[in-house]
Amino acid sequence: MKKSKLARVFFAVVLLVASQISLATAQYSNLTISNIEADVGDGCIYFQLTGVTVADASIVAGNANFAISTTLANAQQIYAMLLAARISGTPLARVVTTGTACGTAQAYIVDL
């Protein structure tokens, strides 16, 4: 009986640690877009935020680019939102990264 309880506790700890590793992200808020590039033929839209020199060091060190894959169903709407924010100088309320797209940090959440 004690072995079974210990095994369940161990399993719960492993799950907790694994979930935290997979949720490792970088998050930014209230920053303006300093640069934006439409798809340059590699299937991604790239943008940079003012003052951010590394988008997500845990994913790609030394790269300030955020990427959005054009295969996303709403990629064109995200591009339009980014372009409008860049033109108007409106800061993005939140940008959260997770994983990679086109070899750089993927912007998973982008809020105006």
Residues 57-86 have pLDDT tens digits of 988 889 999 999 999 999 999 999 999 999
Q: 108 falls in which pLDDT band (50, 70, 90)?
A: confident
pLDDT of residue 59: 87
pLDDT of residue 40: 84
Alpha-carbon distance 22 to 19, whole Å?
5
Average pLDDT over residues 21-49: 88
Average pLDDT over residues 41-65: 94
Domains of the chain, residue spans? 24-111
Q: 2 falls in which pLDDT band (50, 70, 90)?
A: low
pLDDT of residue 4: 61
Domain covering 24-111 in this structure, CATH number: 2.40.50.110
Compute, in degrees rounded to 10, the torsion defined by CA atoms 104, 106, 111, 112: 30
Q: Is the pLDDT of residue 1 over 70?
A: no
- DSSP character string of 10-48: HHHHHHHHHHHHHT---EE-SB-EEEEE---SSSEEEEE
**40 contacts: CB under 8 Å, gap ≥ 6:** 46
- Among 57, 74, 60, residue whose Cα is nearest residue 109: 74
Mean of all residue pLDDT scores within the chain: 84
What are 71's two structure tokens? 């295969």
Neighbouring C-beta atoms of residue 15, cutoff 10 Å: 10
pLDDT of residue 5: 57
Residue 42 phi/psi, 5-degree rounding, is -105, 5
